[in-house]
Structure 1
């Protein structure tokens, strides 16, 4: 593609076009040349094997407010973490028995309707799984699979951002034991450093007293900007102050149908993308080819080094 070519991306609605222009500094006349610069940069990075399709790359530009340099940093981090945290990114076959079971439980589910500002809402019921048979890494893997699909398929998610509801109703000591400092730090770094999305808010609901330790641990790894977007609620009724009842599923006091229907839709959607996920496993970094200091799990996630916090919009 040359700078004069037409990018192969979906046309935004008039509402999303306005948000992209006013909040993400998007200039339609620059999209083609900006995408070309990203591709040329990726070609010159011997350690990165990356997707180069326009729809994927535009998500990184938009998630970085169309700053090419920030998009480069984000792309490098995204693929570096895929390599250094294989527990999240290896073997992402939707038909894998454990992945399929997590999908069927609906641990991570996007809402079918966006908020009035266009933001996509996701609900994370991370404590639904049986900790004797699953671990938090497997649950996180499915969450990242859904996140990757939203990056390439959902313009509301990319342009307007996302609001996350984390339901910890069934949190047990066995669940809590899996929230190790290393796991929590990885999740925080992935969200802040690697994923090109605008995190508008995280609402924790049905919070038990034992949740306090996890909340303090998580907060310690987040930037001040993200910490200000964390909200804790004792029950789901308090969600209505932030999310209209008409958008919430019946199980959360809303009028938008049963969450079981949403689960079926997303399970079927990911199963239909099996070939995409199998192909996607090839994209990562080869640290032996990196020009400069090699990145490894100890350097990125160990507790002896410093933890770099990026500002996220």
Structure 2
């Protein structure tokens, strides 16, 4: 069963995502039937998970099939990104507490995109990798879309704070790793990224932006914004959705991280089951189902 949307959210879902409540049960059934006929694919079929994927693809069943297949294919073919930190392991919570990645829990009455914060400068590059940050994002997003319809309907915005980021961090961002990170975060996750905001950008980061731009569509590039400091950032994003440390009123970062730590613990049985999903490429019948090698041009919707 899926949750019923509020009238306001349902109207947005209909106008922007082509969501038809009368058609949703049929869409879910079609998707489940398709999954059952893919011998290489072992995938979650919870209604709430599948509706998140449908909304992320504006209810295009063919697009959902490709996204879903890629999501689980990357679980098998890019474990250095998707399984580097497993949410059922103590190391996951330990790294989560560093505050490298967190999502502001959305208000159920606030019809705005959810805000994801990435702060790579919080980890020690001699001990950890940017792929660890992606693992935190990868699993928090799964909880987010299961819990909050606002995230699946209104989409998300990403804030990347480069404070304390040095060349030791930047050397981790090889073209291969960047391709995998972009594929996981923007191609496979059930999200509609509405924009990305980059603040406290250090010198030398231009090389990374140039590499990333090769994977992005023009629309994505147009919505990528760079700020000199937190004060400039606050002019673009309202205080109500920003942490106290950034001049906002949405709670402290410690409070937000504590919220997500409790959620990860609460979802442990769900995550244990999640570890069983993936693909067996030796059983794949149609290799055209997923474009796992080229990492298609990305489009912020």
TM bucket by the smaller chain? over 0.9
- 1:193/1:309 contact within 8 Å kept: no
- 2:88/2:271 contact within 8 Å kept: no
Aligned to 1:308: 296
Say whether residues 1:72 and 2:60 are aligned partners: no
Aligned to 1:214: 208
Aligned to 2:255: 261
Query: Equivalent residues in 2 for 1:31-50 (5 A)?
Result: 31-50=24-43
Aligned to 1:227: 221
**Which whole-Å deviations, capped at 9, do the CAs of 1:134-183 have from their partners, x for residues lacking one?**
12222211111111111222211111100110001111111111111111
> 2:4 is paired with a residue of what secondary structure?
coil
> 1:164 is paired with a residue of what secondary structure?
strand
- 1: CA distance, partners of 2:184 / 2:88: 25
- 2: CA distance, partners of 1:110 / 1:91: 20
Aligned to 1:170: 164
- More displaced 10-residue stretch of structure 1: 111-120 or 23-32: 111-120
Deviation (angstroms), 1:295: 9.5
Aligned to 1:83: 76
Q: Normalising by structure 2, what TM-score?
A: 0.93
- 1: CA distance, partners of 2:295 / 2:234: 35
Query: Equivalent residues in 2 for 1:154-165 (5 A)?
Result: 154-165=148-159
**Which whole-Å deviations, capped at 9, do the CAs of 1:258-285 have from their partners, x for residues lacking one?**
2111111111111221121111011111
Aligned to 2:53: 60
> 1:131 is paired with a residue of what secondary structure?
coil
- 2: CA distance, partners of 1:196 / 1:272: 21
- 2: CA distance, partners of 1:85 / 1:191: 12
Q: Which runs of 5+ in 1 are unaligned?
A: 1-7
Query: Equivalent residues in 2 for 1:189-200 (5 A)?
Result: 189-200=183-194
Aligned to 1:279: 273
| 2:20 paired residue among 6, 27, 43 | 27
**Which whole-Å deviations, capped at 9, do the CAs of 1:170-207 have from their partners, x for residues lacking one?**
11111111111111111112233212211001000111
| 1:119 paired residue among 113, 120, 127 | 113
Q: Which runs of 5+ in 2 are unaligned?
A: none
RMSD, matched Cα: 2.0
Q: Normalising by structure 1, what TM-score?
A: 0.90
**Which whole-Å deviations, capped at 9, do the CAs of 1:98-141 have from their partners, x for residues lacking one?**
31221111211111345954211111112210011112222211
- 2: CA distance, partners of 1:79 / 1:128: 29
> 2:112 is paired with a residue of what secondary structure?
coil
| 1:10 paired residue among 3, 7, 24 | 3
Say whether residues 1:134 and 2:111 are aligned partners: no
- 2: CA distance, partners of 1:310 / 1:131: 28
> 1:271 is paired with a residue of what secondary structure?
helix
Sort the Cα spacing of 1:270 and 1:206 in 2 relative to 1 into closer, same or farther, 3 A.
Answer: same
- 2: CA distance, partners of 1:246 / 1:149: 22
Aligned to 1:188: 182
